[in-house]
Chain A
Amino acid sequence: MAAACTRRSPDARDEDEDRDSENADSVWGSDTSAGSGSTDFEPEWLDSVQKSGELFYLELSEDEEESIFPETSTVNHVRFSENEIIIEEDNYKERKKYQPKLKQFTKILKGKRLLPKCYNKKNSNDNGPVSILKHQSHQKAGIVVQQMHKDVNIYVNPKKLTVSKAKEQLKLLEVLFGIIHQNKWSWRRIGKQGSGERLVVHGLLPGGSAMKTGQVLIGDVLVAVNDVAVTSENIERVLSCIPGPMQVKLTFENAYAVKKETIQPRKKKTQINTSDLVKLFWGEEVDSIQTPPHSPHIIMYLTLHLDSETSKEEQEILYHYPKSEASQKLKNVRGIFLTLCDMLENVTGTQVTSSSLLLNGKQIHIAYLKEFDKLLLIGLPAEEVPLPQLRNMIEDVSQTLKFMYASLDGALQQAKLHSSVYPSAQQYDVSSSVLLDNLPGVQWLVLPQEIKMELDTALSDLEAADFSELSEDYYDMRRLYTILGSALFYKGYLICSHLPKDDLIDIAIYCRHYYLLPLAARQRIGQLIIWKEVFPRLHLQHSTDSNFEVFQEPEGRYFLLIVGLKHYMLCVLLEAGGCSSKANGNPGPDCIYIDQAKTTLQQLEGVDSYINEQLISSSNTCLSCADWFLAGPHEKVDSLTTSPVLSRLQSTSKTAVSPTCRRTLFGDSSLKTRKPSPSRSSGGSDHGCEGEEGVSTNLHTTPDAVWKQRESQGSGGSEESGALLKITKKKSTFPNPFHLGNLKKDLSEKELEVYNTMKLTSGPENTLFHYLALETVQGIFITPTQEEVAQLSGSVHPQLIKNFHQCCLSIRAVFQQTLVKEKKKALNGEDHSHSTNSTVSSFSPVKEYGVLFECSPENWTDQKKTPPVMTYWVVGRLFLHPKPQELYVCFHDSVTEIAIEMAFKLFFGLTL
């Protein structure tokens, strides 16, 4: 790619000269023409760039596709262009996991967004962004409406259905495919066409085959089954003709795209974009998404400022989602929200933050966010999202919206953003994701110094932008953008960041929002390029300080560039204006910057395997599995004194080398725990033998010395709490001729492990189950990776982690209150007379909060024996000074722990 860049440079240079004088559109035009002139290196994504300069281009890598569709002949192009959406799909077979290949994809749809019906009249000549106006006028001129058809193949087996069929009309459609069509619904989107007999997909049954494909979307119209045209009249007949198990081809017409009415492009986008994640996402949230009538939820954006003249119905609603029955009820009582907001502020002098109400016997929390004269409301059932999380969520949502659209007004009033809020809201259902997604941070993968340095260097090189085309000397003109900073993700984990916390979090929320992080974790990205103008809060808040000594943010514009390659994702924040040239119009993605970012990623490809090992093997701390402590009562003592940490060490070492043999060996070591525990020394030798065994089982060419050393240090670590420091020191001084030559290449997994195997708990055994450390200054947190947790397996452990997360949520809610109060105190710090009184009697600076849990195996069948009981602590600790940090640990009750000590160990050396 770098080569392509240099070749391209003469053209690019010419264009660059034009750029300053021309507006964005024409720049883009010339770029395109130039690109087509030299077709060799026209970037694939070029067609996908929107008028507004935005780009969202995702391509899965070829080998990934092949591995995903081993038995399919799918060519499934989804291409969005300005006026039409074309999804071309050939037949593909879908059974277990279908993951679409996304050839090309842009956010172009967004531009076509029309306002919801009720506001059409009022807002039609609103002044939106240029692009919107353009599209609207465009539409008025009349576009050729492209019918968009897609074929979905679904395997059905009618014989399996013993269900009494076809009691009511269209039942078969539901039973066979999981497609819900309700006749009586006046489906708005279809109404215009007036063909009531069309088979609109009104809903998808959770777990139904249609849903599993991820291809059938609500609102699609079923037009043909095996090329037989169907309507609501003949569908039952046609379907009943299916003789036996077979593939059925369903042809859908995408109503959304065709009608271009009040659709939610963003939702669609997320669905398509992440349809590989649809399962992940929908699978968990099926209930709330599929049955909205039962779980009332709402998002509203209301204006408090009413025009008394135009007393139109519902005029105060600027935005409202969803339109389900239950949310309708909530919508109807919006008067309550408006009144509360207004009145309570008058009475108490502070703004209303939340309220809770009872609807259909369910408690619903409503969170409020008032900005100027507008009010954003999010309401969700209490059982799904506890109140403190809801408060965080609304902050998050508004932050994301502001990041993407500059202001809430801009985002919601033009109703650009329909469901983007919505899925993000729904995503909070799962308890673990509730916790992790709410944290103001990004999960960070702690890497050994050497790797980290390499990454840092690579990013710094890019950021410096002082070479080849990026340097100002090259074209002898001001550069277009200054790189403010960049962050590198690997499989969804942050591994390197040169961004200030606020920017990092903004970007992370953006990525999370589009499921980019899980996407990168699950499959290799062929190519991902996102270019978007963003509005980071850090740079856009103009300091009121007139002091010129203080650094003033330039009044520039900011662009986010995300380039993804395989499991890497590089996010770059660019600034135009300031010391680079000002941006005019809607500049599109810049080839040079994209190419450089890509090159950077390509450079790092070599490190890939190391990081991966790091991810899979223990990242930096030993964990124990809860199940080890739940052995029968008589075995308990033994297992407590010896096994967990040792077996853990063994199992990880073996997993790192060959995951396949792990299970057996692991079984071995757990068997060992049953034996009466030998004395420590004999245990050590025993251990050593096992180490030898490990070497012999895997054919890895490693000198025994390393192994031995590792073993000794491993057991040493189990005796001394401050193992990390010691080990690293030893390591660096240890003269190992084997490693002198190519040190970096030989950072094999064992050394990495030795570097990082750190025991947090004190005492002879490792009693730590889980941890979470949040560093708020850098905006990162560390917690065991999913891979690590998966290694521990066990039946109780996942539950324990779930409970840990739940508990952390409630602890964190308390901490947040504390932080708010501390902030308030800091604000009126002089007012001591009042504050001293309140600090003593109030419950305010909570710094440590621990809960002791008792757990027993879930399905205890043995009636005679009482189930074994294990007790463990979940402890949260908040550090206010020198910088706010939060730590949550979960450990066994057998050893008394001092949280602050653990915190020190965890946070030690935790710098980006």
Chain B
Amino acid sequence: MEEEGPGATVHLLCLAASSGVPLFCRSSRGGIPTRQQLPFSVIGSLNGVHMFGQNLEVQLNSAKTEDTTVVWRSFHDSITLIVLSSEEDTSELRLERLLQMVFGAMVLFVGLEELTDIRNVERVKKELRASYHLIDSFLGDSELIGDLTQCVDCVIPPEGSPLQEALSGFAEATGTAFVSLVVSGRVVAATDSWWRLGTPESVLLPWLVGSLPPQAARDYPVYLPHGSPTVPHRLLTLTLLPGLELCLLCGPRPSLSQLDQQLLERWWQPLLDPLRACLPLGPRALPDGFPLHADILGLLLLHLELKRCLFTVEPSGDKEPSAEQRRRLLRNFYTMVTTTQFPPESGPAEKAEDVVRSTQLPKACYVVLGPGSGWQFVALHLGMRLLLLLLSPQSPTYGLRSLATNTLHALTPLL
């Protein structure tokens, strides 16, 4: 398996924990799904070491070689997920979160019952095929970052309040509490109930909507991994404008046919212009004309309590590096910052910290990359918000913090 192909490979294995039967294997190379898979013997021994340890009360979590990281995770003692990644700068944190998302996706399509109590392996395999599409999108390069941050990717519409009003009015009219507007996988506006969705599904649902091929309307049965893992709900999507979809999460009612043209037109026709203004927001996340410093090449703002994030690499898009590289850089920076300086617990509840930490709190950090690139990164932690910036090399290092502080203050009313 030493192919020197372009890009790194990621292998994801899913096995039934009790029998060791592989349920599926997905691989990607350089961000693109491939069919090339690990030999069966390797799959067997990867699962074997994990099982062996479990029998002896030792739980194997991860292993690293010089260029590859392997992470094991078993869910509900019935499903074992193994990921093997040779991506550069890959971290255990990233892979662990990936596995959580993958398991969430499996539950989303199949339901928890089916996965915890596997009677017919073949049937489960077949049912899981529906989730391949979503799972593959996690393995590849995505424009979103919710899989890593476990926060909902959002965008800030230029005119938020009319959209919000229309949304609640529409929700009332249809009798569903969970309604949201999604533009290419990012939430533009949502009802309060939608925002209260638990962690995996709040990220998974917009992601799913964004990754599906465009359709005028959909009616999807989904299980909610956190909220309702055994009882399926219906996810209705209606395309208002190409790329802009209205999502409803509901029980048996209303049926798709009830959401007729008339209802839609009544609520959304008057808002056509604000809706149009949302369309280009996808990758940009921030409304046009929002004052950002010229040195900022990428931005990630997280609200750790609300679990929402803004992620964009659009500013000064004509400069180096490319958007994809910027995304990678920011993802890497996020991982580094989260593993070292701002561990996830320190966000919402600052209690499980040792003595030193409690008196010596990290507030900000910056990284300057060396010759050849010179990109600079700065992270600023203020209250519930965490801001990460990717900056161009010409920005002075000593000014990074004030730049970040100013940007954060400017962004604070938005998220």
Q: Does B associate with A?
A: yes
List A residues at the B interface (Cβ < 8 Å).
329-330, 332-333, 335-336, 339-340, 343-360, 363, 796, 799-800, 802-803, 806, 810, 814, 818, 834, 837-858, 871, 878, 880, 896-899
**A847/B370 in contact, CB under 8 A:** yes
**A840/B325 in contact, CB under 8 A:** yes
**A838/B88 in contact, CB under 8 A:** yes
Q: How far is the CA of A803 from the CA of B61 in the complex (A)?
A: 28
Q: How far is the CA of A27 from the CA of B372 in the complex (A)?
A: 62
The residues of A that contact B332 with a CB separation of less than 8 Å are: 842-843
The residues of B that contact A857 with a CB separation of less than 8 Å are: 359
Say yes or no: is B216 at the interface (Cβ < 8 Å to chain A). Answer: no
CB distance from A537 to the nearest CB of B (A): 21
Say yes or no: is B67 at the interface (Cβ < 8 Å to chain A). Answer: yes
**A333/B45 in contact, CB under 8 A:** no
- A-B pairs under 8 A by CB, number: 185
The residues of B that contact A844 with a CB separation of less than 8 Å are: 88-89, 369-370
Say yes or no: is B132 at the interface (Cβ < 8 Å to chain A). Answer: no
CB distance from A886 to the nearest CB of B (A): 13
Stretch at the interface among B101-109, B181-189, B333-341: B333-341
**A814/B56 in contact, CB under 8 A:** no
Say yes or no: is B169 at the interface (Cβ < 8 Å to chain A). Answer: no
Chain B residue at smallest Cβ distance from A820: B66
Q: How far is the CA of A355 from the CA of B68 in the complex (A)?
A: 11
Chain B residue at smallest Cβ distance from A349: B2
**B367/A348 in contact, CB under 8 A:** no
Chain A residue at smallest Cβ distance from B368: A848
* 7 pairs of residues in contact across A and B, judged by CB atoms under 8 Å: A344-B63, A354-B63, A799-B359, A837-B6, A845-B369, A847-B368, A852-B364
Say yes or no: is B86 at the interface (Cβ < 8 Å to chain A). Answer: yes
Chain B residue at smallest Cβ distance from A838: B88
Say yes or no: is B120 at the interface (Cβ < 8 Å to chain A). Answer: no
Can you list, as one digit per residue, whether each of B23-39 has a CB less than 8 Å from chain A (1) or not (0)?
Answer: 00000000000000010
The residues of A that contact B333 with a CB separation of less than 8 Å are: 843
Contact of A843 among B45, B329, B398 (CB under 8 A): B329
Residues of chain B from 27 to 72 with CB closer than 8 A to chain A in the complex: 38, 42, 45-46, 48-49, 52-53, 56-68, 70
Q: How far is the CA of A842 from the CA of B1 in the complex (A)?
A: 23
Residues of chain B from 92 to 113 with CB closer than 8 A to chain A in the complex: 92
Contact of A353 among B66, B356, B360 (CB under 8 A): B66
The residues of A that contact B397 with a CB separation of less than 8 Å are: 848, 898-899
Q: How far is the CA of A834 from the CA of B1 in the complex (A)?
A: 19
The residues of B that contact A332 with a CB separation of less than 8 Å are: 56, 58
Given A858-B359, A871-B363, 14 more A-B residue pairs with CB atoms under 8 Å apart are A339-B49, A346-B42, A351-B65, A356-B92, A796-B359, A802-B356, A840-B325, A841-B321, A843-B369, A848-B367, A849-B366, A850-B367, A854-B361, A898-B397
Chain A residue at smallest Cβ distance from B84: A347
The residues of B that contact A345 with a CB separation of less than 8 Å are: 65
**B66/A351 in contact, CB under 8 A:** yes
Chain B residue at smallest Cβ distance from A897: B398
The residues of A that contact B371 with a CB separation of less than 8 Å are: 845, 847, 880
**A814/B336 in contact, CB under 8 A:** yes
Residues of chain B from 183 to 216 with CB closer than 8 A to chain A in the complex: none
CB distance from B345 to the nearest CB of A (A): 15
CB distance from A474 to the nearest CB of B (A): 54
Residues of chain B from 319 to 361 with CB closer than 8 A to chain A in the complex: 320-321, 324-325, 328-329, 332-333, 336, 340-341, 355-356, 359-361
Q: How far is the CA of A340 from the CA of B52 in the complex (A)?
A: 12
**B372/A845 in contact, CB under 8 A:** yes
CB distance from A802 to the nearest CB of B (A): 6
Say yes or no: is B412 at the interface (Cβ < 8 Å to chain A). Answer: no
Residues of chain B from 294 to 324 with CB closer than 8 A to chain A in the complex: 320-321, 324
Q: How far is the CA of A74 from the CA of B45 in the complex (A)?
A: 62
Are A357 and B56 also in contact (CB < 8 A) when A843-B369, A851-B341 are? no
Say yes or no: is B270 at the interface (Cβ < 8 Å to chain A). Answer: no
B: number of interface residues (CB 8 Å)? 62
CB distance from B174 to the nearest CB of A (A): 44
**B49/A340 in contact, CB under 8 A:** yes
The residues of A that contact B321 with a CB separation of less than 8 Å are: 840-841
Q: How far is the CA of A344 from the CA of B46 in the complex (A)?
A: 9
The residues of B that contact A871 with a CB separation of less than 8 Å are: 363
**A841/B325 in contact, CB under 8 A:** yes
Contact of B369 among A340, A354, A846 (CB under 8 A): A846
**Considering the complex of A and B, which 5 residue pairs feature the smallest CB-CB distances, nearest first?**
A845-B370, A355-B63, A848-B368, A350-B66, A847-B370
Which of A359, A810, A852 has the most chain B CB atoms closer than 10 A to its own CB? Answer: A852
Q: How far is the CA of A814 from the CA of B367 in the complex (A)?
A: 10
**B49/A336 in contact, CB under 8 A:** yes
Q: How far is the CA of A355 from the CA of B71 in the complex (A)?
A: 9
Which of A347, A357, A359, A360 has the most chain B CB atoms closer than 10 A to its own CB? Answer: A347
Q: How far is the CA of A330 from the CA of B332 in the complex (A)?
A: 33
Are A810 and B68 also in contact (CB < 8 A) when A841-B328, A848-B397 are? no
**B360/A329 in contact, CB under 8 A:** no
The residues of B that contact A360 with a CB separation of less than 8 Å are: 57
**A353/B42 in contact, CB under 8 A:** no
The residues of B that contact A359 with a CB separation of less than 8 Å are: 57-59
**B360/A803 in contact, CB under 8 A:** yes
Chain A residue at smallest Cβ distance from B327: A841
The residues of A that contact B2 with a CB separation of less than 8 Å are: 349
**A806/B356 in contact, CB under 8 A:** yes
The residues of A that contact B162 with a CB separation of less than 8 Å are: none
The residues of B that contact A855 with a CB separation of less than 8 Å are: 359-361
Chain A residue at smallest Cβ distance from B41: A343
Can you list, as one digit per residue, whether each of B1-23 has a CB less than 8 Å from chain A (1) or not (0)?
Answer: 11000100000000000000000
Q: How far is the CA of A814 from the CA of B377 in the complex (A)?
A: 14
Say yes or no: is B401 at the interface (Cβ < 8 Å to chain A). Answer: yes
**A335/B52 in contact, CB under 8 A:** yes
Contact of B61 among A340, A349, A363 (CB under 8 A): A363
CB distance from B254 to the nearest CB of A (A): 46
CB distance from B17 to the nearest CB of A (A): 16
**B364/A851 in contact, CB under 8 A:** yes
The residues of B that contact A351 with a CB separation of less than 8 Å are: 65-66
Q: How far is the CA of A7 from the CA of B365 in the complex (A)?
A: 67
CB distance from B377 to the nearest CB of A (A): 9
Contact of B363 among A333, A834, A853 (CB under 8 A): A853
**B65/A352 in contact, CB under 8 A:** yes
The residues of B that contact A841 with a CB separation of less than 8 Å are: 88, 321, 324-325, 328-329
The residues of B that contact A796 with a CB separation of less than 8 Å are: 359
CB distance from A374 to the nearest CB of B (A): 18
Chain B residue at smallest Cβ distance from A358: B59
**B49/A350 in contact, CB under 8 A:** no
**B1/A335 in contact, CB under 8 A:** no
Are A354 and B368 also in contact (CB < 8 A) when A803-B360, A840-B321, A853-B363 are? no
The residues of B that contact A353 with a CB separation of less than 8 Å are: 64-66
Say yes or no: is B373 at the interface (Cβ < 8 Å to chain A). Answer: yes
Q: How far is the CA of A741 from the CA of B32 in the complex (A)?
A: 80
**A336/B58 in contact, CB under 8 A:** yes
The residues of A that contact B57 with a CB separation of less than 8 Å are: 329, 359-360
The residues of B that contact A850 with a CB separation of less than 8 Å are: 365-367
Say yes or no: is B175 at the interface (Cβ < 8 Å to chain A). Answer: no
Q: How far is the CA of A806 from the CA of B340 in the complex (A)?
A: 10
Q: How far is the CA of A837 from the CA of B61 in the complex (A)?
A: 31
**B58/A357 in contact, CB under 8 A:** yes
**B360/A851 in contact, CB under 8 A:** no
The residues of B that contact A806 with a CB separation of less than 8 Å are: 356
**B359/A343 in contact, CB under 8 A:** no
Say yes or no: is B362 at the interface (Cβ < 8 Å to chain A). Answer: yes
The residues of A that contact B70 with a CB separation of less than 8 Å are: 344
**B370/A880 in contact, CB under 8 A:** yes
Contact of B60 among A354, A357, A848 (CB under 8 A): A357
**B56/A854 in contact, CB under 8 A:** no
Are A846 and B372 also in contact (CB < 8 A) when A840-B321, A852-B401 are? no
**A818/B370 in contact, CB under 8 A:** yes
The residues of B that contact A854 with a CB separation of less than 8 Å are: 360-363
Contact of B62 among A330, A346, A355, A856 (CB under 8 A): A355
